[in-house]
Amino acid sequence: MAVASQRIRENSRSLYLWCRRNPVTALGFAIILGLGILGVLAPLLAPYDPYALNPAERMRPPSWEHPFGTGIFGEDIFSRVLYGIRIDFGIGLGAVAFGLVVGSTVGVLAGYYGGRLDEILMRLMDIVAAFPGFILAMAIAGVLGPSIPNLIIAIAFVNVPVYARLSRSRFLVIRSSLYAMAARGVGASDMRILAWHLLPNSLAPIFVQSTLQCGWAILDAAGLSFIGLGVHLPTPEWGVMIGLGAPRIISGQWWISFFPGLAIAITVMGFNLIGDGLQDLLDPKRW
């Protein structure tokens, strides 16, 4: 146990040093933190109710009153982009959490019990992984119907194999490690080993993976919402907002789609910068 916590401490110390040496990753943290704060403070910062419609003012270009312009219902894009942080972060984190819990449960079960169960579970994972991800998510979202929980399930389901494989391999590596043996040697039960030794020691790579997946999940969610398979109208979700503005691009009303898309790009970039930076800890040859 002392070994484990010391390792965590070492990890976080090196993380801190690494951040100082790598402003780009620090930028990633800053973006996500900053957006998170904006999202939390949205009710204070947004000049309008994100659901308020004003047909008399529809499709106005950006101005002082409407910094990001107004949409096809006369809704204020800026306020909706702010509230969108809550929705899109929620979907991203939700999908990652869901995929992580299901995936690592499968992975750890497979790794722990081995044998036939391992074989069956991992072959199932192979089948799920055989689908092109976005297309499977699309089919699932189409089957379940549009809503935020369904969207989260659709996206998370596709990512389950990633976590399952990762956690299984980490599990196998660590189980054969010295401290697991040591713990077993002093009579710790299997569950105890799992909870206190193996999970914390698998966390670093899983955390890295989760950060990257979070960005992907937000992209996928936006894509599904864009084609109408995501959240309910008129929820201020970024993909839905882009979709509402899409038919107006050809006639030049760019702002309806532009700002929500920019918000997605910045968010995903933030998550990716963090994920990449952390991955460099494990593999310094990468960017």
Partner 1 sequence: MQIFGRILRRGALALLSGAIAVSVGPIAAQAQSDKNTLVVAVSHDLQNTDPTLTSGNTATWEFLTNVYNWLIDYEVVTLDDGTRIGDANSFVGSLAESFEWSNDGKTVTFKMRDGLKFSNGDPLTAEAVKFTFDRIFDQKGVTVGNMALAEVPDKHHIELIDSETVAIHLDRANSLLFGNMAQAGNSILNPKVVGPHMTDDDPYAHEFLKVDSRGTEQGPYRMDSWDPGNQYVLVRNDNYHGEPANIERIVFKIIPDPASRLAQLVSGAVDIALELPTIDIPSLEANPDITVHRNTSRSIAYIGMNNEVAPFDNKLVRQAISYAVPYDTIIDIVLNGYAVQLKSPIPFGTPGHTDQFFVYEQNFEKAKELLVEAGYPDGFSSVFEIPIGNQEAKETAVFLKDSLAKIGVDIQIQELPGAAYFEKIQKHELKFFFTNFWISINNDPYYHVYWKFHHSCCNYANYANSTVDQLIADNTISTDTAAQAAAIEEIQRILLDEAPWVLLYQPEHILAMRSNVKGYAYYSADNFTRYQYLYKE
Partner 2 sequence: MIAFVARRLLLLIPVLLGVTVVTFTLTRIIPGNPIDLMVSPLADAETRARIAENAGLNDPLWEQYARYIWGVANGDFGDSFVTSQPVLDDLTSRFMPTFELTLFAMLLAIILAVPLGIASAVWRGTWIDHVSRLLAVFGVAMPVFWVSLVAIYVFFFLLHWLPAPQGRISVIVAPPDAITGLFVVDSLLTGNWPALRSSFQSILMPACVLAFAAMAPLARMTRSSMIEALESDYTRAARAMGLPERSVVFRHALRNAVLPVITMIAIVYGYLLGGVVLVENVFAWPGLGRYVYNAIASSDYPALQGFILYSTTVYVLLFLFVDILYVLLDPRVRI
Residues that bind partner 2 (CB under 8 A): 24, 123-124, 126-128, 130-136, 138-140, 142-143, 145, 215, 219, 222-223, 226-229, 239, 242, 245-246, 249-252, 254, 257-258, 261, 264-269, 272-273, 276, 285-287
Shortest reach from residue 126's CB to partner 2, in Å: 6
> Which of the choices partner 2, partner 1, none does residue 247 contact, using the CB cut-off of 5 to 8 A by kind?
partner 1
Residues whose CB is less than 8 angstroms from the CB of residue 84 and which lie 6 or more positions away in sequence, other chains included: 236, 237, 238, 241, 260, 263
> Which of the choices partner 2, partner 1, none does residue 257 contact, using the CB cut-off of 5 to 8 A by kind?
partner 2
> Which of the choices partner 2, partner 1, none does residue 176 contact, using the CB cut-off of 5 to 8 A by kind?
none
Quick check: 198 and 180 in contact, CB under 8 A?
Answer: yes
Cα separation, 216 vs 220, whole angstroms: 6
**253 phi and psi angles, rounded to 5 deg:** -85, 75
Among 265, 255, 224, smallest CA distance to 77 is for 255
Closer by beta carbon to partner 1, 55 or else 114: 55
Render the burial of 219-236: b for 16+ CB within 10 Å, e for the rest.
Answer: bbbbbbbbeebbbeebbb
Residues at the interface with partner 1 (CB under 8 A): 51-53, 55, 58, 72-73, 142, 145-146, 226-228, 232-234, 243, 246-247, 250-251
Shortest reach from residue 22's CB to partner 2, in Å: 12
